[in-house]
Each structure stands twice: as C-alpha cells, then as structure tokens.
Amino acid sequence: MRKALSILLVMALLAGVLGFAPAVRASQAVVVQMTIGSTKATIDLKQVVLDQPPLIENGRTLVPFRFIGEALGAQIGWDPANRTVSYILGDKSIVLTIGSATAMVNGVKTTLDVAAKILPTGRTVVPIRFISESIGAKVAWNATTRMVTVTMAATLDVGIVLPTKDEPRWLQDQTRFNTALKTAGYDAEILFSQGSSAIEKQNVEALITKGIKVLILCPQDATAAAAAADEARAAGIKVISYDRLILNTSAVDYYVTFDSISVGKAQAQYLVGKTTGTKNPLYLYAGAASDNNAFLFFEGAWDVLQPKIADGTFVIENSSEAVALQGKATLTRAEMAKIIGQITTNWDFTVAKNLAEANLTMATAGKKGNVFILAPNDGTARSIADAFAADKDVKSYVITGQDAEIPSVQYIIDGKQSMTVFKDVRTLVKDASAAAVDYLTGKTPEKTTTYNNGKIDVPAKPSAVISVDKSNVVAALITSGYYPASDFTGLP
C-alpha cells in the first residue's frame, strides 16, 4: 500500500510540477524515432529535443525512461523508496527496478538483457525494445543510420453493433454511446446491421481487425449472433450483449438490458386497467420470432392477460394458437413460439400494418367495437393503430407500445396511441458504457441477476421501466430532460 501511494504521489507531482497529464492509453497511431548519441528525436515527424541521448549498452539500446513512456501514451511512475520506474497503458503494467535484470509485466517476473539505470547525469534510462514491446508497440533498428523506430498501431477500444438505422431508437443510442464513451476517454466505432445477420457478422469481424477490446452487440437474430460472439471471444474480446440476449453461446460476458418481462407486464396491466365489463376484443401482436426479447415481452404480458382471458374479461380475436392455449397460465417457449408465429410483426412497420389489416378483414363487426391491442413496440404500434383507426367498425381502441419514440409520444399526445413503456436509453447506454470501461480497466461490471441464454447464466443488472401515457408524459419525458418540449405540439 505504501509503495502504491508513493508511486501515485510522484506521478501527481510530475503532472503538477512538470506540466504533463499522464495518458490512460494510446488509441492513435504513434511513430517515435531516435538516433543513438543524438538528442534530436521525432514523434509523428514532429521534432523534439531529448535531455539524454539514446545509448547502447551490452548490445541493447537504452532511452530516457520518461520520454518513451509519454511518447507512447503511458502513465509513468517513479518510486524513490524502492527505486522502481513503472508504466501503465490500458491493461499493461510494467515495473522495472533500477539496476535489476528482473522486471514485472502484469505481475509476472521477466528477465531483462540489460537493466534500467540512473546515469551520472541523474537521468534514468530503460531498454527501449523491452518497454515498447511490452506495451504493444513494434521496434525497428537501422544499423546504417543507427536509428530506432518505435511504432504503436492505432487501437480501437470499443466496437458497437446495433440492429438498424431505420428506427429512431437506435439512432438515439448511437448518439448517446458516442457521447458517453468519448466523455470517458475511449474511442468507439458504431456499425449497423440493417436487419441482416450476415452484415452483423461482417461488422463484428471488421471491428475485430481494428483491435477492439470490448464488443457491445445488440443481435439482429439472437441465435445467429452466437457465431459473431464466438469470433470475438476467440480474439480475446469481452462481449456485452446489449438490450437483446445473444443465445446458445458461452462467449457472452455480460448482458445490459431492461427488465423485459416487466415491459410486457406493464403493457398488459395498462390494457387491464382500461377495461370494463366482459368479452372485450383483444388483439395480440409480438416482435420478431428471432429476437429473444420478443418472447420475454410476451411472457410478461401473458402472465397478466391470461387470468383476464380465463375469466372472460378479454376474448382473443386474432390468434387460434393463443385461443387453444388460453387456459394455461404459464407457457413453454415452444408454446409461445406457436402464438408468436401467428402474431409476429418482425419489428417491421409494414408487416405490422399488413397483419393488422388482414386481422380486421377477417374479423366480423362483432369482434371489433371497443378493442384492446397488445402492440410490442412504438413503431409497430403506430402502424397497427393506423389500421384500426381506419376501420369503420372500430369504435375505440387502447393500444400499447414501448421505447418512447418521438413519433409515438406525439401519437399519445394526439390520442392515437394509448401508452408507451419508457425505457430510458440514457440509463441503458450509461450501463453498457460503464461495463465496457470496467472491462477496459480490468474490473468486473456489477451483477444483480443472471439470464440463461441456453448455454450459460449471463451476469446482468437490468434497468427499471416506466409506463407513460397522456397523464404523465410531461413529467416522464419533458421535465426529466429526456426530450425538449419543442419536439412536440399540443402538450397537455
């Protein structure tokens, strides 16, 4: 403990007195060139002057300890009590003792060809090849010019793959991820799969080649994404499954999500709360059958709706599979799959509208009237609402949603959509970014529960959700700072 405090104290003094700010990591490419016996050096072709020229001892090149550390973006430390110098860069930690042929790299003893030393001038020099290669840089030697070139390749800290640019939700996530990680001091690249598992896999492979340390992946297809996660794990990358759980692989380190079952329950509870009497027409819709979240949303909704179906409050109008299973309080995944197969929107606005119109075409006037609609998310809710609003036999409808998308919030204000489940993506992005930074700094993200993905129990810390309708839209979304009031018209 005393040693650590000593190093930190000296680093703080160096930062304050000598006017440099130690870097946490180097994310940009760096090329450093020095010539034996010369005080002239360059960093990315910009000339600098050394206070001690490089020298050769026992066939090894020694360079100023502080210069090479700063040039490569490492934190440097000097402990006078133990006569040690140290470098920290990302997950690399290097400690050398003056005069000793033994060094420590990430806590493992390593033997040096030549020791770090303090010259008669008082300057400390270290073996450049050992330091550079331990940090992850490459060293080249030109015997003719007696020049040493150290190259640190550019690195990318975090790679993020999101499902599509075509839904406002994911564009919001893109903006917030960029802000959160940049503020934390890390570089990220965000790619979109555009509804294709093949593109998703290509995106992950492209990010792997860029040297990412952490992958945040929201899978297009939960099962197909396993192959991409496996590739990332094989490359030594931490994999964070974002919003949707990647299934059937052990290559998932952490899951950042909202409580998806609670989302479905909140939607269903809203419908139940708006009912009067019995035999209320109920139309069910779900997300994509390839998305594990669609099952969780439906599971939560069924848990609330089924007792009200059993007691006659609701009558299911658009799914024979749901009718056949309406006596079961708990459904197996296979049973849910049968229902979802009939009511899936595939998270697609057009599919949702076409399905709703087909359901209404087949339904008699007696199956319409004052209807209740379980819609899985805001985009599909708007499409389904438009279809029901256009049917002359529909007197009124109550319809659910989720994500608090701006167009749906306006629909709620205008009375075209009843509610949305607000999942504050600021929280989700913050949690995912914090988990990525934890991994980048050698920590483990906080866990409050686990989710089984068919292969392992994945650690997670789910975030809470909020039901929003016209009565609390201002408090939940405007006063909270999530959206500016100027985004909407007719606010209550």
Burial of 109 (0-12, 13-18, 19+ CB in 10 A): exposed
Mean pLDDT of the chain: 91
Residue 6 has pLDDT above 70, yes or no: no
Its pTM stands at: 0.61
pLDDT digits 0-9 by tens, 325-374: 999 999 999 999 999 999 999 999 999 999 999 999 999 999 999 999 99
* Confidence bin at 90 (pLDDT 50/70/90): confident
Residue 123 in this model has a pLDDT that exceeds 90: yes
The predicted structure's pLDDT at residue 270: 98
**What three-state secondary structure class fits 30?**
strand
* Integer Cα distance of 249 and 223 in angstroms: 8
| CA distance linking residue 326 with residue 344, whole number of Å | 18
The tens digit of pLDDT for each residue in 21-55 reads: 333 344 457 899 999 999 999 998 899 999 999 99
Is the distance from CB of 70 to CB of 20 less than 8 angstroms?
yes
Q: Give 196-208 pLDDT, tens digit per residue.
A: 999 999 999 989 8
Is the pLDDT reported for residue 116 higher than 90?
A: yes
Q: What confidence tens digit (pLDDT) does each residue in 364-411 have?
A: 999 999 999 999 999 999 999 999 999 999 999 999 999 999 999 999
Find all residues with CB under 8 Å of 75, minimum gap 6, and list them.
11, 22, 23, 24, 69, 86, 87, 88, 89
pLDDT range class, residue 137, cuts 50, 70, 90:
confident
Specify the pLDDT at position 28. Answer: 57
Mean pLDDT, rounded, for 404-422 = 97
Residue 200: Cβ within 10 Å count:
26
